[in-house]
Amino acid sequence: MIRVVVAVVAVVLLVSPAAAADRVKVGFIATFSGPAGSIGQHMWDGFALGLEHAGGKLGGLSTEVIKEDDQLKPDVGLQVTQKLLEKDRVDFVVGTIFSNVMMAIYKPIVDSKTFLIGSNAGPSPIAGAQCSPYFFSTSWQNDGPHEAMGKYVQDKGFKKLYIMAPNYQAGKDALTGFKRYFKGEVVGEVYTTLNQPDYSPELAQIRAAKPDALYVFYPGGMGVNFVKQYAQAGLLKELPFFSAFTVDTVTLGAMGEAAVGTYGTAFWNTELKNPANERFVADFEKKYKYTPSNYSAQAYDSALLLDAGIKAVQGKLDDKDGLRAAFRRADFKSVRGPFKYNTNNFPIQNFYLHQAVKDASGKLRLENRGVVFKDHVDAYAKDCPMKW
Amino acid sequence: MVIDPGLLFVQALNGLQFGVMLFLMAAGLTLIFGIMNLVNLAHGSLYMVGAYLASVVLERTGSFALAVVLALLGTALVGIVVEVTVIRTLYARDHLDQVLATFGLILFFNEIVRMTWGKAALYMPLPAVLEGDVPLLPGIRYPVYRLIIIVVGLVVAVLLYLFIARTRVGMLIRAGASNRTMVGALGVDITRLYTLVFGLGAALAGLAGLMAGPTVSIESGMGEPILILTLVVIVIGGIGSIRGAFVAAILVGFADTVGRAFLPPLLRIMLPPATANQAGPALASMMIYLLMAVVLAFRPQGLFPARTG
């Protein structure tokens, strides 16, 4: 009996032509609990605003978004992915924050021929050898911001750098990316234990090594701890501080004065002058009463990309090839300004320098300091066998 | 590799500073473990509560002194309430039940601070006088606030020693740590003693938390990493022994600092860079566990076992 049912279902599935759907289901996976939960909230709010700007309907279809928490655990990420694919039968998945979770959910999603919109993590395998026609990133390949910082430090003529990151894959990738463009001397390359709360021994070592500047990658709470202790040790006055994913609008409030004067790089900041970004930042602050971060911006763009793709195929969600072709055109106004896809479905985009400043009213913000990379292409696209 | 004596001195201070912080945590935990025979995994949550209370009071009132006082009293109060409502029912249960229940408390506290103060980390600034660094020796500067942590930690250690060694309540606590049943049989109000010890332990954890507040990100879950180190300290020191907790905390502080500061550069001299970069951080983070393994191999009861009977 079961065999008959399966056969009938299979036949029905095979012969049914791509018909316009009347609604679209999107699975949204991010970390909503634990210390990183605030990043998930930034992302969720960004996506919700994107959906609102699309008239509450992605591509004109009534839209249901199912929110899932991966708890920063790859196995939980995998579980919620299976639920989204098998029980909810979502049409698209948007996510996720951490590369280790991304690597766990990536294969099941693209193997099921469901489009995955990467709205943060961009680990190198996905941009390179394991690239997929069912994956599109609205963020960046992980190395991008680090490469940009490396280039900036190199261009500014710094000779001796001390570089640090947590001891895990993303930390190692960060310093590798930085060294791809920084050609001077690295007088110290230090990997600290993940989620280490205190850095006083390392700070004493930095001072003793007498570098020209410091480069670090400490996302989230680690960055708050490190930056506060760096300033308290009096090092902020002595050594220029460069970082990526460390001083951002999620962490800036908790760092306070300690972050003022530090530099960072990202594909986007609130001060980019383009109509899409101005509208996004203004509406976001009005609606959620806080400053959007790059995580919000990426998720906002994910909603716009979906909207543009579904519109282009006139709601025919089964027309995967049509959807892919539409996504590749990236026919939407990204908050980052110029945006086009490379052959590995990662963006070719600019990277900008920003500096944490305190304005006259005492408010802390990240001030745009101009373009570092124009139309940057990631280093792994050449390993991706995909042809357009 | 030439080790600069100035750097060595600064790293020694760092080790000491980390050690006294661990001691503040370990003192309470070891007493609770030793006297009430209770495994309290929620001790790290009290550390978190101390940091949150201090940060919130400071933000509302702008007074650092008031923040310190209210955070200390507040954490002690939270500790006492938890003892009376939850912990008290656990004394007669076995360790596994206690682990389960106090783990539940961790989840409860993490969730409650998230609901009350939001998911984003809180900011706690230092008063201007405590910021910056001071010259200690020619050419050697050290952050003022870290020096204060060292001083406060050492003062509290001395006070705690006097309290335990010289007062009547202290005598009961010592007696309780070596033979609980006998103390109860002698007619001491054991229930009140337990509540007092738990409140004291909570206040010490709160002190550690509020002192850490300005240096770390105050967020839900911040107590767990320090809890693990604290457990290592009390196992090395011998459960129930304040003296053991002090010696072990300083030892762990030094071992960790030396491991993190000098092991990776040392390995880079002896090994090729790629291998050294792999092995250095891994070994450095293992140092304190190696220390624990060595101590336990020679003294399975810890350095200063408190319970003899």
Name the minimum distance, in Å, from the CA of A94 to any CA of chain B.
Answer: 22
Whether the per-residue pLDDT at B307 is higher than 60: the answer is no
Q: Is the pLDDT of residue A13 over 70?
A: no
B97 to chain A, closest Cα gap in Å: 25
Report the DSSP pairing between strands A263-266 and A340-341. unpaired
Chain A positions touching B7 (Cβ under 8 A) are 204-205, 208
pLDDT of residue A379 exceeding 60: yes
Burial B216-251 (b: 16+ CB within 10 A, else e): bbbbbbbbebbbebbbbbbbbbbbbbbbbbbbbbbb
Question: What is the predicted ipTM?
Answer: 0.80
Q: Which of A42, A198, A295 to mutate against chain B (most B CBs within 10 Å)? A: A198
* Per-residue pLDDT at A375 exceeds 80: yes
Supply B244's token pair. 């053991």
Chain A contact residues (CB < 8 Å to B): 34-35, 37-38, 41, 167, 189-193, 195-198, 200-202, 204-205, 208, 220-225, 228-229, 232-234, 250-251, 253-257
Confidence of residue A383 (pLDDT cuts 50, 70, 90): very high
Tell me, yes or no, if B122 comes closer than 8 A to chain A by beta carbon.
yes
Min CA distance, B130 vs chain A (Å)? 9
Report yes or no: B59 at the A interface, CB cutoff 8 Å.
Answer: no
Which whole number is the average pLDDT over A57-65?
94
pLDDT 10s digits, A87-105: 999 999 999 999 989 999 9
The pTM of this model reads 0.85
Question: Can you tell me the distance from the alpha carbon of A210 to that of A161, in angstroms, rounded to the nearest whole number?
Answer: 9
The beta-carbon neighbor of B123 closest among A41, A167, A253 is A253
Instruction: Report the distance separating Cα A299 and Cα A322, nearest Å.
Output: 22
For residue A234, list chain B residues with Cβ-Cβ distance below 8 A. Answer: 132-133, 141, 143
Residue B59, C-beta contacts closer than 8 angstroms, at least 6 positions apart: B122, B124
Nearest alpha carbon to residue A211 among A223, A201, A222, A203: A203
In chain B, positions 134-173, which contact chain A (CB-CB < 8 Å)?
A: 141, 143, 145-146
Q: What is the mean pLDDT of residues A3-18?
A: 54
Q: Do B285 and A167 touch (CB under 8 A)?
A: yes
Alpha-carbon span B148 to B17, nearest angstrom? 9
Residues of A in contact with B284 (CB under 8 A): 193
Contacts of A193 (CB under 8 A, 6+ apart): A166, A167, B281, B284, B285
